[in-house]
Amino acid sequence: MLFGASFIAIVGGAIVAFMLGALWYSPILFGKAWMKYKGNSDPQASPVVYEPLAKKWLETSVLFGVVAAQIGIIGDLQSLLILAIVLWAGFTLPSHYLGHAFGGHPVLMKIIDAGYHLCAFALIGVVYAVLG
């Protein structure tokens, strides 16, 4: 337990968010469109660096679990999904919006990225509801 959050839930949340990203940015879902908006049509030209992504989702899952434990909602799916939306809207969405705005990225690229992060936060909430 880490501040009331289960290690299994912490790692599980990070894993499902990371796996969602692999699917989200694959050609099956939004990978082709995202690469087009990025201005690069060759996926091999932009190799994925997995370590920072894995660390980011592990840190996010820890933060999610600590907040959920401190407000006493671990195991309550509805409350955890609300927390996912609040954390996404309060922390992730503003920083992504600014990054994309100053980067001059197209609106659809912003939507793809924002949608991924919202879904990843929601999946972390589901993991905490199931694994506590």
User: Looking at residue 8, what is its pLDDT?
Assistant: 95
Comparing CA positions, the residue from 73, 65, 82 lying closest to residue 11 is: 65
What's the one-letter identity of residue 70?
Answer: Q
User: Looking at residue 53, what is its pLDDT?
Assistant: 86
Q: Which two tokens mark 57?
A: 């989702």
- Flag whether the pTM goes above 0.75: yes
User: Looking at residue 124, what is its pLDDT?
Assistant: 97
For the chain, what is the HEC assignment? CECCECHHHHHHHHHHHHHHHHHHCCCCCCHHHHHHHHCCCCHHHCCCCHHHHHHHHHHHHHHHHHHHHHCCCCCCHHHHHHHHHHHHHHHHHHHHHHHHHHHCCCHHHHHHHHHHHHHHHHHHHHHHHHHC
Q: What gap in Å lies between CA 98 and CA 76, rounded to an integer?
A: 32
User: Looking at residue 97, what is its pLDDT?
Assistant: 81
Tens of pLDDT, residue by residue, the chain (132 residues): 767 788 999 999 999 999 999 999 988 998 888 788 777 655 555 556 778 889 999 999 999 999 999 999 999 999 999 999 999 999 999 988 887 778 777 888 888 999 999 999 999 999 999 998
User: Looking at residue 78, what is its pLDDT?
Assistant: 97
User: Looking at residue 9, what is its pLDDT?
Assistant: 95
